[in-house]
Amino acid sequence: MTFLTWLKYATQQLNGSDSPRRDAEILLAFVTGRTRTFLMAFCETTLTENELAQLNAYLQRRQAGEPIAYITGVKEFWSLNFNVSPATLIPRPDTEKLVELALECLPKVPCEVLDLGTGTGAITIAMATERPDCLFTAVDNSAEALKLAQENARQIGVNNVYFSLGNWYKSIKGRKFSMIVSNPPYIEPTDVHLSQGDVRYEPRTALVSEDNGVADIKIIVKGATKHLNQYGWLLIEHGWKQGEIVQTIFKQQGFQLVKTYSDYSGNDRVTVGRWFKP
């Protein structure tokens, strides 16, 4: 079977996916070790028996709904390749908006940044590649996720990130930062989307939060008042319907210049606030 024949077959089999052709191309490139350009230019290349067996096994997993990123173990974010596993959320393009805003708000001079619930390390590592003069601390309460984030930092080549195991602020007592960023759990436990799509395979502890999805956000915002330097920034990613309530949480804790920004799809996604204590 040729590359082209398998692509056509796999695309038909994945008609329930949001992007069947792209899913098939990713699997074919992963198994053959070829670029997408090569696959298109040499589409009549014949697959080996071993390659075909691997492809069909991966295709079955994708048909069952398993995320492509978990099958290949890799996901691109901020033009960087991150290792992923079922112990972490899969980095999403919408989260790049958080990175973009954070880089805009960062002081022009060297400073310290805290990333809470780092997962794969995508946010903090992406920022660290752009600001090698800054020191980043990435916290997660999952030892498996933290080990993966450390491996990603090593492979991508950043050496200005310090990793810490702990729940939110517990492992960084007494320290203060110029910025705190977080993509915390923000889905309410009864949300029907938890039983749909890729989310079914992702760690529930990294997705779900009590109190209509804002329990962890409240903890982060309140704790930030003790861990931000004067004029420091707090940036939190949240659900597309949570912009107004998250703004209220920020303002109740005394944050100034509070504003919610939309992601690249036009949905409310990141709320930003600046800490100023008279």
Residue 162 is labelled as binding a ligand: no
Residue 120 is labelled as binding a ligand: yes
Residue 121 is labelled as binding a ligand: yes
Residue 18 is labelled as binding a ligand: no
Residue 233 is labelled as binding a ligand: no
Residue 140 is labelled as binding a ligand: yes
What pairing do the DSSP bridges indicate for beta strands 256-262 and 268-274? Answer: antiparallel
Residue 119 is labelled as binding a ligand: yes
Residue 185 is labelled as binding a ligand: yes
Residue 263 is labelled as binding a ligand: no
Residue 67 is labelled as binding a ligand: no
Residue 203 is labelled as binding a ligand: no
Binding-site entries for S-adenosyl-L-methionine: 117-121, 140, 168, 183
Binding-site entries for substrate: 183-186
Binding-site entries: 117-121, 140, 168, 183-186
